Amino acid sequence: MEPFLDDLADDLQSLSFTSTSTATINRSTSSGSASNSGSSSLAPSAHGSFSSKTIRSGSLSLADLRFSIRLGSGDIGSVYLAELKSQPPPPDTNAGDANNNNNKGSKSDVVFAAKVMDKKELASRSKEGRARTEMEILELLDHPFLPSLYAVIDSPKWFCLLTEFCPGGDLHVLRQRQPLKRFPDSAVRFYASEVVVALEYLHMMGIVYRDLKPENVLVRSDGHIMLTDFDLSLKCDESTSTPHIVSDQKPPVPGTHEYLAPEIVSGEGHGSPVDWWTLGIFMYELFYGVTPFKGVDHELTLANIVARALEFPKEPMVPAAAKDLISQLLVKDPPRRLGSTMGASAIKHHPFFQGVNWALLRCTTPPYVPPPFSKEVVSDESCPETPVEYY
């Protein structure tokens, strides 16, 4: 499903400029409940008189938003850059500040990533449940490496989730820019460690992510990561950070074939160990630029996942500790997989992560910090049908 800007023109026109309906405002807290008071460093930056208080207070309406660039698309929706429209500055008795106020009101710099889903298409493809699951999970999250849900916009035709915009793009695109399209050891350690902490939190919240891949690991403005895309996630009734295996007897979930765990391919019950499998595939791809079980087609890829032994290329040279960690994560039998019994703790103590200060990850210098965001950088006016690889 790929609603392009021209396809959405009429509806987004009314959605962005004439609608007066008000969005449901959500801010995740440590308890998972909504909060309309207090400040948060995760709130988007304010501009002029339009402060983040407007968002938290519940007064944000569709008329306050302008949709501009399509950042990317997925199975159940497309992601757009959404801006808060400029607001006139409040009256100020200090004449000396008049020019500053005029400048502040000239342009909005409060931007979001807006995941827009077509309700009719969701219904025709029986995908409403996935959209609802993503919303419910986003409402629970309160973690520096996971998205903050700022608003849910429910219009007659469109369902929209407003989250943080990450100007650094995703790790798939960033890997393509590396020499030989591979990350150095230090970068893999940095990104993998932040993913481990994010997965640990999700499992503690009773959430099995099930969709880890470089395309779903975004780079924030400070260079740290944010996992995205939770429509394939499994929400459980209890923490999955213990040996408990969550039974899910549904058919194999859709997703990237190369990242599916053997128990998902086989249609077995599965739980949090599938995320540790995908961590192994993720690290392998960051190191080598390819995934370990990819075949000439989807069927052979799935067969390789279930039956083929893990092999490492001779080049490039990858540390022995990294290979050992990947090997323990890519054990096909879930109970024997690293992390299946002791959770993230076992992975954190692996020699590959020696020297990582887990308590101060956010203070670690990232391997890459994106330049200041500019719409001109991501906009491709000459080819509007080409997705911009930001999400």
Please give the positions annotated as active site: 211
DSSP string, 69-104: EEEEE-SS-EEEEEEEPP-PPPP-S-GGGHHHHHHH
Cα(179)–Cα(94) distance, integer angstroms: 54
- Total residues found in the chain within this entry: 391
Angle in degrees, CA 66, 73, 198, rounded to 5: 95
Q: Which residues of 95-104 are buried (b: 16+ CB within 10 A; e: fewer)?
A: eeeeeebeeb
* Separation of CA 55 from chain center: 21
What is the full DSSP assignment across 117-173?
A: EEHHHHHHTT-HHHHHHHHHHHHH---TTS--EEEEEE-SSEEEEEE---TT-BHHH
Give the phi and the psi of residue 357 in degrees, each rounded to 5.
Answer: -90, 95
Q: Mapping DSSP to helix (H, G, I), strand (E, B) and coil, where does residue 337 land? A: coil
The CA radius of gyration of the chain, in Å to the nearest whole number, is 22
Structure tokens at 50: 């339009």
Residue 47 three-state SS: strand
